[in-house]
Structure 1
Amino acid sequence: MTALPPLAPSGVPRWRLPRSARSPHPAAVLAGFVVAGLGIGLSQAGASAVIQDQVRTLDTSVDMIGYTIMAYALGVVVGAPLLMVGLAGWGRRRLLLLMSGIFVVTSALTAIAPDVWSLLVVRFLAGLPHGALLGTASYVAMLAVGRERRGMAIATIMYGLTAATVVGVPAMQWGSEAFGWRWMYWAVTAVGVGGLLLIWAYTPRVAGTKGTSFTREMSTLTGRPLWMAILTITTGFAGLGAVQSYMVPLLEETNGFTSGAVTVTLVLFGVGMTIGATAGGRLTDRGPALAARVGLSGVVVSLALLGLFGDSGWPTVIFLVSLGAFVQVFSQSAQTRLMDVIHSSPSLGAALSHSALNAATVLGSGLGAVVIAFGFGFLAPAWLALVGAIAALVLVAWGPGYRDAE
């Protein structure tokens, strides 16, 4: 049973709440979120696909572009909690429209960034709405399908992100070689506009947190289970940030793949993430702790194999696909767990999960850039990520962030 409001209050102007949003079908609500997730996935994950062209056209280095990827993730880390806490009283439809609008504008600014320093600033700004947008979408999606299916609701939104990895990121990698990376970010802008229009057309009015204040919202960010869960997410996802950010140079320079082979690998990586999202949604509905343990165990094995044999050609593809699948299994449990921990403000919990995920990207891509700059090669980030994944698995098995989720 859904908990979406069936009708809009009388007197709301049509341009603010069209007829299609007054009693929407849950599938229509989710469709807008999937497209918005697709745009965000293209913007964030696509950065690793265009990295080689950016190095050439901006006359910079791989590690410097890695810092622009880190800047985006840092924007998510900062923006998700601040925006969700500061705008907690806003209606969720209004908040979604604002965040989607900011995403469109910053995507366009990315496309016209004249140099790597301006790109660094713009990518930070582009990351600010990420967590608030997807976190709020996860909450509204949960209302649309019912709390008992919240794992599958989050997984459905993640299909937009995984679709970006399956189709969009390889297309951006190919398109950056053929037309240039700037045109690829104009395409991201167009997808963002599509998501904005769908959200405007189908998202109903959902109230914010009534009678709240900045101090009261901040008070929800306390308790050992919450911060242990955030720490688990951050350490566990560092592997994806460390490896995915430098996947293209790993394949091209370390393994000697052609541009076409890299495109195929990126597609397969996205397929793995899609399979992982589906499996993770189902496992999470059975229990967030179960999904977390299965996901992180797979991440540990995948990273170890990648570190040992990641220069062996096509077997490297198997390790990358496995990593993408198991990371997504953990992703579903992570977002659901934080929504449960901050039960008084589940949309804040969902936003915080994206903040933690991107803190992991900052950690992973930043440390990866450092070891690459010191000449340790493109396999070194996998070893750094493995340490974090093992720590996260220990926290899931014995830490209070998940132990009380049994």
Structure 2
Amino acid sequence: MTELRSAPVDDDSPSTQDTPHGPAPIAGLSAARRWFALIALAIGGFGIGVTEFVTMGLLPDIAQDLLPDDYALDPEGANATAGLLVSAYALGVVVGAPTIAALAARWSRKRLLIALVTVFVIGNALSALLPSFGFVLAARFASAVPHGAYFGIASLVAASLMGPGNRARGVSFVMGGLAIANVVGVPTGTFLGQAFGWRAAYLFVALIFAVALVAIILTVPFRPGDPTATLRGELSALKRSQVWLTLGVASIGFGGIFAVYTFIAPIVTEVAGLSAEFVPWILVLFGVGMTIGNFVSGWLTDRSVKRSLLVSICSIGIAVLGFALFASTVGGLIVFVFLVGLATGSCGPAIQTRLMDAARDAQSFAAALNHSALNVGNSLGAFLGGVVIAAGLGYLSPAWVGVGLSLIGLTFLLVSFALERRKPL
């Protein structure tokens, strides 16, 4: 475990202002306080991981309950329609992340985190309680609005807590909450949804966020907002070609993952021939891979951001290709679900760190944009996957869409590296 050292520097001093090379370290805190704060931030990431991914494992249950007439006539079509809940969540992230990050740039980061987690509690409670598909669709969109801003701000706070030379490991700690959610939280939510109805899963998520809210209030240190921050200054990140290229890698290359993962429940039952009881265990396997990939990526990114990015995007293409070829067998499903999870986890810290570097003075905005981009990939993958399934090409057809998306993402990355040789970040 990385040792956290502190120096007696006041939070209001100029030395605590972010620099183009990363968030300034938060000084004057004990090591124990820093780790408790990191854990609190990771609990929020854990809740986000559950609310984002639990829908996938319960799509047939949701479709059967909220779209009963459609499900009776065409289960595949109803499942594809229910997949819009995944797209709606992703679009909520895309809209909310840059909007909140830009407009709240002057807020203290702790105050903003508290506000965002409060919205998570309310949005997930509404997802559990609203009666119709249309209302639940709207609630999933609203629940997602704080997602990107939370991860962006929490990543900057975590990087400050860890200090110079360990930024990516701070980011990976927050993202680790999301990864661990896929080992523990998503399978638990899926089990609760299958046993007590899918609405129980969202109530479970609301409870997780309530715990995160209390933990953040008690442990995350206060830092004043930046009074010089302006909307124009935050939006200046969008003038940088490297920011756009990195967003392209995230939004298109990462879409290959969600073209597969959105429809994992029917793939397990209809393609591999396993019973529905195996779905939570397959999700655990995905989560184990994602957790390992996340923490390995944090370590690798602190040594070479470019190398870590290249490994991540190539891993996505290879894993999704293997899934397309072999997931029809139980052995192939097990192996390649794990590898898809490994590739998924490897992306977050590397992309987040590169965006922070590329954006220079607009790091809060860029850090939030990362999650907008990843959820463009989420929405794009889920939508295209639903299109090819609805066209009658089968539940494995989205994996081939995923292969194509990962190749496009790799192209963006290689163009970014070529430009960097001419003009460093």
Q: Which moves more between the two structures, 207-216 or 102-111?
A: 207-216
Judged with a 3 Å threshold, the aligned counterparts in structure 2 of structure 1 residues 401 and 76 are, in CA distance, closer, same or farther, namely farther
Q: Which moves more between the two structures, 344-353 or 114-123?
A: 344-353
The one of 20, 41, 47 equivalent to 1:33 is 41
The one of 164, 170, 173 equivalent to 2:181 is 164
Q: Which moves more between the two structures, 148-157 or 303-312?
A: 303-312
Contact 2:105 2:364 in 1 (8 A): no
2:382 equivalent to 1:365: yes
Cα deviations across residues 38-85 of structure 1 (Å, max 9, x unaligned)?
A: 111110011112212111211251111111110000000010001000
The one of 312, 328, 331 equivalent to 1:295 is 312
Cα deviations across residues 318-376 of structure 1 (Å, max 9, x unaligned)?
A: 11110110221122110111111112122222111111000100110011111111211
Aligned to 2:195: 178
Contact 1:4 1:204 in 2 (8 A): no
Please give the alpha-carbon distance, in whole angstroms, between the structure 1 residues aligned to 2:418 and 2:296.
Answer: 22
The one of 224, 232, 242 equivalent to 1:225 is 242
Q: How many Å apart are 1:191 and its aligned residue?
A: 0.3
Aligned to 2:115: 98
Aligned to 1:57: 65
Q: How many Å apart are 1:222 and its aligned residue?
A: 1.2
Q: Which amino acid aligns with 1:354?
A: H
Aligned to 2:276: 259
Contact 1:5 1:205 in 2 (8 A): no
Q: Which moves more between the two structures, 279-288 or 261-270?
A: 261-270
Please give the alpha-carbon distance, in whole angstroms, between the structure 1 residues aligned to 2:382 and 2:259.
Answer: 5
Aligned to 1:250: 267
The one of 199, 203, 207 equivalent to 2:224 is 207
Contact 1:289 1:396 in 2 (8 A): no
Q: Which amino acid aligns with 2:302?
A: D
Contact 2:187 2:280 in 1 (8 A): yes
Judged with a 3 Å threshold, the aligned counterparts in structure 2 of structure 1 residues 84 and 4 are, in CA distance, closer, same or farther, namely farther
Name the SS of the counterpart of 2:186 in structure 1: helix
Contact 2:125 2:203 in 1 (8 A): yes
2:155 equivalent to 1:147: no
Contact 2:117 2:213 in 1 (8 A): yes
Q: Which amino acid aligns with 1:202?
A: T
The one of 113, 116, 124 equivalent to 2:130 is 113
Name the SS of the counterpart of 1:385 in structure 2: helix
What is the TM-score with the length of structure 1 in the denominator? 0.93
2:363 equivalent to 1:355: no
2:402 equivalent to 1:385: yes
The one of 307, 316, 332 equivalent to 2:333 is 316
Aligned to 1:43: 51
Name the SS of the counterpart of 2:239 in structure 1: coil
Please give the alpha-carbon distance, in whole angstroms, between the structure 2 residues aligned to 1:335 and 1:56.
Answer: 38
Q: Which amino acid aligns with 2:111?
A: R
Q: Name stretches of at least 5 consecutive residues in structure 1 with no aligned partner.
A: 10-21
Please give the alpha-carbon distance, in whole angstroms, between the structure 1 residues aligned to 2:303 and 2:104.
Answer: 32
Q: Which moves more between the two structures, 180-189 or 345-354?
A: 345-354
Q: How many Å apart are 1:188 and its aligned residue?
A: 0.5
The one of 181, 184, 193 equivalent to 2:210 is 193
Please give the alpha-carbon distance, in whole angstroms, between the structure 2 residues aligned to 1:165 and 1:379.
Answer: 21
Q: Which moves more between the two structures, 286-295 or 393-402?
A: 393-402
Please give the alpha-carbon distance, in whole angstroms, between the structure 1 residues aligned to 2:95 and 2:45.
Answer: 19
Q: How many Å apart are 1:400 and its aligned residue?
A: 4.5
Please give the alpha-carbon distance, in whole angstroms, between the structure 2 residues aligned to 1:151 and 1:322.
Answer: 22
Q: How many Å apart are 1:207 and its aligned residue?
A: 2.9
Name the SS of the counterpart of 1:211 in structure 2: coil
The one of 326, 344, 347 equivalent to 1:327 is 344
Please give the alpha-carbon distance, in whole angstroms, between the structure 2 residues aligned to 1:251 and 1:362.
Answer: 21
Contact 2:109 2:225 in 1 (8 A): yes
Q: Which amino acid aligns with 1:27?
A: W
Aligned-pair identity in percent equals 33
Aligned residues: 395
Judged with a 3 Å threshold, the aligned counterparts in structure 2 of structure 1 residues 204 and 401 are, in CA distance, closer, same or farther, namely farther
Contact 1:2 1:143 in 2 (8 A): no
Q: Which amino acid aligns with 1:56?
A: Q
Contact 1:138 1:347 in 2 (8 A): no
